[in-house]
Structure 1
Amino acid sequence: MITYPHMRKGAKIGVTAPSSGVPIDLHHIVKEASARLEEKGYRLQYGETVWTQIKAKSASAEKRSEEFNQMMTDNQVDLIIPPWGGELLMETLEHLDFESIQSKWILGYSDVSMLLLTVTLQTGIATAHGTNLVDLRGEEYDATTAMWEQVLSTESGGEVIQYSSEMYQKEWDFENPSPHVFHLTETTEWKTTTGQRVEIEGRLLGGCVDVIHHLVGTPYGDVATFRRRFIEEEPVLWYFENCEMTTTDLKRALIQMKLAGWFEDCSGILFGRSAANTPVEGYTAEDVYQDLTEELGVPVIYDIDCGHVPPQLTLINGAYAKVESENGKGKVTQWFK
């Protein structure tokens, strides 16, 4: 059985940086996010790692792990939202105390998705792939990002529905953030490899493919054992987003997952929009998706609201989901069962 945390009203948010911390010249955006969240009734508790950054990490692996472990066992902390992602979260995995982790939400994406997936695979506790803390600093939330609160407040046994965004952001303009931080200028269009309506059901698992494929072959990437222990071998509906990979990098990572058995009883695959996916000798992202459809015999939906091209849905690792895509629009229903 999957264990679903629940975010109560006025929750205390623990902010720790298991990957990258925030350099001094950007401390103001964390403080802006804090102010906005406090206005909404949340309380915040900061770890020391949030405020430091040196050599591609917030602190040593031991200090990052110790701070995370402490917040996960602190009865006063209701959920954890890191400031953002980074590069070297993987260093912390061997120091995490999975036996003592309490049922509380962890919300984030990018490098943090490695932590999310690992926690769910190791413990059966659901985790939330969605916005990071600094993207909550706007005067308001766009409709897609705003769903993080409703999703995390859903009771165990309940369901929550999200829809594809109307518009997405093509380019960052850090100097001139909009009232909801993002500049949503492009029309969102979810696509399928068949060009037809697609409906897929299964247990959601996934994250940033750049990092989570490195879990293959480690004790932290044992998908088969997770399926036996926690979801009665139900099919998995994978979601991925590509931060920096070329198309051939992406394909190699997906082949690695396939050879490791991650796609056994896979019901389908979702891919987020990407500013990467650089073609290699004419081999495009669409070619990768088409190859997957043919090789695995499963439907693929791509350019969904997930990852580094905002806004993004809040997708719950471990939740049972039905994802529908037709005529460029999408709908995601998640059941906390």
Structure 2
Amino acid sequence: MITYPILKNNATIGVTAPSSGVEEELHELVKSSSSRLKERGFHVICGETVWTQDKAKSAEAAKRAQEFNEMMKNQEIDLIIPPWGGELLIEILEEIDFDKLKNKWVLGYSDTSVLLLAITLKTGIATANGTNLIDLRGEYSDETTAMWQSVLSTKAGDSINQHSSEKYQKKWQHDNPSPCVFHLTEPTYWKTVSGKNVKAEGCLLGGCIDVIRHLIGTPYGDLKSFREKYINDEPIMWYLENCELKTTDLRRTLVQMKLAGWFENTSCILFGRSPANEPVENYTIVDVYQDLSNELQIPIIYDVDCGHVPPQITFVNGAYGELEVEDGKGKVVQHFKA
């Protein structure tokens, strides 16, 4: 069975940087995010790694892992949120005390999803793919982003509903700050390869495909053991988002996942909106989705609220999801099975 943390009132948030830290000229982003969270009743503890960044990482792997391990063991810390993602989180996996991890939430996305997926697969502890700390610095959060707190406050045995956003952000406007951080201007429309409405269900797993693909073939990506030990071979509903891959690299990755058995007993796959997905010759992203759907004979849903084109639904690795897509609108119910 999956173990679900619970976010309590007036929780203490631990901020550590298992991937990238924050350059000095951007420290104000962390400070303003921390201040906003304190206004909402949270306590915030920032680790040393948050404030440093060199050679594409916040610190050497041993230091990053040590700080994360200490925050996971610290009884005063209820939830861990990195400032943002990065590039080299995978370096710390062999230093993480997976056998000693406490039952507490870790929330984030991008490179952080390597750690999230590894924790859930190795321990059966649910993790949350959603907002990072920096994007909580606004005067308020949009309705989709704001659901992170309700999702993480859901008790084992209960369920939580989320819906597709009304609008998404096409591009960043850093010179024009928004009260909710994002500039949500474009109508959201969830699409299906078949063009038809879709219903599906299964255990939710996923993250940023650029980086979680590197778990394949390692002790941190053992899907077979996870299925047998924690979910009794329930179907899996994958959510994936592409940060930087061209269509051919994405295609190679999806074929590798298939060959590695990651798509066995999969009910459907959701793909987030992407700033990448550049076609190679005339091989487009829709071609990629169509090829995968044809091979696996399952529904493919794309342009969902997940990843680097905000806002984001909070997807919980390990939760049992029920998905409905109808006329471009999406609904995801996550059951925290007791």
TM-score category, normalised to shorter length: over 0.9
- CA RMSD in angstroms, aligned pairs only: 0.5
Q: What residue in structure 2 maps to residue 173 of structure 1?
A: 173
Cα displacement string for residues 179-235 of structure 1 (whole angstroms, at most 9, x for unaligned residues): 100000101000001101101100000000000001101111101110000000101
d(CA) in 1 for partners of 2:253 and 2:280? 15
Distance across 1 between alignment mates of 2:103 and 2:252: 34
Q: Which residue of 2 aligns with 1:92?
A: 92
Q: Paired residue for 1:55? A: 55
1:188 paired to 2:196: no
Aligned residue in 1 for 2:292: 292
**Distance in 1 of aligned mates of 2:175 and 2:156:** 41
TM-score, normalisation: structure 2: 0.99
1:102-113 maps to which residues of 2 (within 5 A)? 102-113=102-113
Q: Give the match for residue 262 of structure 1.
A: 262
Describe the superposition over 1:21-64 as per-residue Cα deviations: whole angstroms up to 9, x where unpaired. 00000000100000100000000011100000000000000000
Q: Which amino acid aligns with 1:98?
A: F
State the one-letter code of the partner of 2:274. S
Report the counterpart of residue 21 of structure 2 in structure 1: 21
Give the secondary-structure state (helix, strand or coil) at the position aligned to 1:65: helix
**Residues 281-320 of structure 1 mapped to structure 2, 5 A cutoff:** 281-320=281-320
When the two structures are superposed, what TM-score results if normalisation uses the length of structure 1? Answer: 1.00
Matched residues in 2 for 1:60 and 1:202: separation? 38
Equivalences for residues 121-160 of structure 1 within 5 A: 121-160=121-160
Counterpart Cα distance in 2 of 1:256 and 1:70? 35
2:103 and 2:52 map into 1 onto residues whose CA distance is 28
Q: What do the CA deviations read for 1:270-318 (whole angstroms, capped 9, x no partner)?
A: 0000010000011111111111111001111100000000000000000
Q: Deviations over 1:210-264 (max 9, x none)?
A: 0000110111110111000000010110010000000000011111111100001
Correspondence for 1:118: 118
Post-superposition offset of 1:176 = 1.8
How far apart, CA to CA, are the structure 2 residues paired with 1:203 and 1:177? 37
Q: What is the count of residue pairs matched by the alignment?
A: 337
- Asked if 1:213 corresponds to 2:200, the answer is no
Corresponding residue for 1:46? 46
Give the letter aligned to residue 58 of structure 1: S
Please list every run of at least 4 consecutive aligned residues from structure 1 whose deviation after the TM superposition is greater than 2 angstroms: none
Written as runs of structure 1 = structure 2, the 5 A alignment for 1:205-244 is 205-244=205-244
What runs of 5+ residues in structure 2 fail to find an aligned partner? none
Separation in structure 1 between the aligned mates of residue 309 and residue 248 of structure 2, nearest angstrom: 20
Unaligned stretches of 5+ residues in structure 1: none
Specify the alignment match of 1:32 in structure 2: 32
Identity %: 65
Q: How many Å separate the matches in 2 of 1:296 and 1:13?
A: 41
Counterpart amino acid of residue 333 in structure 1: V
Q: In the aligned structure 1, how far is the partner of 2:161 from the partner of 2:76?
A: 30
State the AA in 2 paired with 1:147.
M
Query: 1:153: Cα distance to partner?
Result: 0.3
AA aligned to 1:275 is P
Instruction: State the match for 1:275 in structure 2.
Output: 275
Cα distance in 2, alignment partners of residues 74 and 233 from structure 1? 33
Secondary structure of the residue aligned to 1:145 is helix
Give per-residue Cα distances to partners, 1:141-163, cap 9 Å, x unaligned.
Answer: 10000000000000011000000
